[in-house]
Amino acid sequence: MGRVRDLTPYVELGRDQWRELRQATPLTLTDEELTRLRGLRDPVDLDEVADVYLPLSRLINLQVAARQQLHQATSTFLGDTSRKAPFVIAIAGSVAVGKSTTARILRALLAKWPDHPHVDLVTTDGFLFPTAELERRNLLHRKGFPESYDRRSLLRFVAEVKSGAEEARAPVYSHLAYDIVPDAEQVVRQPDILIIEGLNVLQPGPRLMVSDLFDFSIYVDAHTDDIAKWYVERFLALRSTAFADPASHFHHYAPLPDAKAEDEARRLWREINEPNLISNILPTRPRATLVLRKDASHRTTRLRLRKL
Ligand SMILES: Nc1ncnc2c1ncn2[C@@H]1O[C@H](COP(=O)(O)OP(=O)(O)O)[C@@H](O)[C@H]1O
Ligand SMILES: CC(C)(COP(=O)(O)O)[C@@H](O)C(=O)NCCC(=O)O
């Protein structure tokens, strides 16, 4: 009989072990491209791409091929020769942990595979209820909590993409307006791979949930205290970037001196984003296929892969 620790569904790898699994996967991203993909205050560099993202790209490549065969088996069984289903990758994690950078790097790398797959990236903020609806539901101070999303529409959208619909349409959120943009939409047309990124994508539920449609999922993880620090630092930096735009919903924060801005960021973290992380987001971590664990300097140092 195997030892108890052999029965865990996870394998934990240090960065040095993980990077070996890149094997011959070539580095196809340049420094200029990476600069464009990097989020505000995210120090990700080409070493991180080579050590962390190239093995990941190789693993996903292997899994896409295996998934196509599995899908083929069901198609053969049903006598249905319709087109293959796209491979759906989810990226979850706290506000300010760096999910969007992870999603953009992965998208760029996957799209560079020799067969040039069509990779689309959709963020779940487009499925937040519009501000007026959040107000009606008394959820304005719970933006980002599971109940602040139109989960039925999100499920319908991913199900449409996955079932090979010619077009699927997602609403669009603006951080500037702090609201859904009326009449805007992101149109997704039969991608080979769909990446769906958002705080709560891994939430389970009493009925079919979007997480039931994922082929691979990544949880971007770090110590809560480090994420809080990144949130506050980014908030301070946003004063001279996004908040400086008079059209920004947060323009009134732009002239705040450091101490006041820090107090405000800490309050937002404490009252909204930390409780959401602890009550809703962290509990979904065990479900992820891969956990990327970052240290205080944003560097991925440990990875946990689900092998079962
Ligand atoms: N108030 C804001 N104004 C403009 N951009 C913002 C604001 N808050 C967050 N962002 C940007 O939105 C994106 C998503 O942020 P977030 O949900 O915190 O996820 P993450 O940091 O994990 O990517 C990031 O690129 C971030 O810089
Ligand atoms: C828009 C978000 C809810 C994240 O959306 P996601 O795409 O992860 O679903 C988040 O980035 C946000 O702005 N939260 C609001 C809480 C705050 O004001 O800090």
Does ligand 2 have an atom closer than 6 angstroms to the CB of 300? Answer: no
Structure tokens at 198: 């958002």
Domain ranges of the chain: 4-306
198 annotated to bind ligand: no
Structure tokens at 307: 């092998």
pLDDT digits (tens, 9 = 90+) for 61-113: 999 999 999 988 988 999 987 777 899 999 999 999 999 999 999 999 999 99
Does ligand 2 have an atom closer than 6 angstroms to the CB of 143? Answer: yes
Q: Best of 42, 175, 232 to mutate for ligand 1, by most ligand atoms within 8 A of CB? A: 175
Does ligand 2 have an atom closer than 6 angstroms to the CB of 198? Answer: yes
162 annotated to bind ligand: no
Confidence at residue 4, expressed as pLDDT on a 0 to 100 scale: 57
Structure tokens at 292: 């990327």
Q: If you measure from the C-alpha of residue 42 to the centroid of ligand 1, how many angstroms do you get, rounded to a whole number?
A: 11
100 annotated to bind ligand: yes
> Is pTM beyond 0.80 here?
yes
Q: How far is C-alpha 181 from the chain's CA centre?
A: 21
Q: Best of 181, 199, 201 to mutate for ligand 2, by most ligand atoms within 8 A of CB? A: 199
Fill in the amino acid letter for 162. Answer: K
pLDDT in single tens digits along all 308 residues of the chain: 456 566 799 999 999 999 999 999 999 999 999 999 999 999 999 999 999 999 999 999 999 999 999 988 988 999 987 777 899 999 999 999 999 999 999 999 999 998 889 999 999 999 999 999 999 999 999 999 999 999 999 999 999 999 999 999 999 999 999 999 999 999 999 999 999 999 999 999 889 999 999 999 999 999 999 999 999 999 999 999 999 999 999 999 999 999 999 999 999 999 999 999 999 999 999 999 999 999 999 999 999 999 98
Q: Within 13 Å and on the Cβ side, how many CA atoms surround 62?
A: 9
The CA–CA distances, whole Å, from 20 to 25, 31, 52, 53, 110 equal 11, 22, 10, 12, 19
Q: If you measure from the C-alpha of residue 205 to the centroid of ligand 1, how many angstroms do you get, rounded to a whole number?
A: 26
Ligand nearest 128 Cα, by number? 2
Confidence at residue 5, expressed as pLDDT on a 0 to 100 scale: 60
Contact indicator for 218, 63 with CB cutoff of 8 Å: no
Confidence at residue 44, expressed as pLDDT on a 0 to 100 scale: 96
CATH architecture of 4-306: 3-Layer(aba) Sandwich (3.40)
24 annotated to bind ligand: no
Nearest CA to ligand 1 atom 17: 95
3-class DSSP state of 262 = helix
Confidence at residue 3, expressed as pLDDT on a 0 to 100 scale: 61
99 annotated to bind ligand: yes
Contact indicator for 98, 296 with CB cutoff of 8 Å: no
Contact indicator for 229, 295 with CB cutoff of 8 Å: no
Largest CA distance in the chain: 66
Contact indicator for 165, 247 with CB cutoff of 8 Å: no
Fill in the amino acid letter for 113. Answer: W
Q: How far is C-alpha 33 from the chain's CA centre?
A: 19
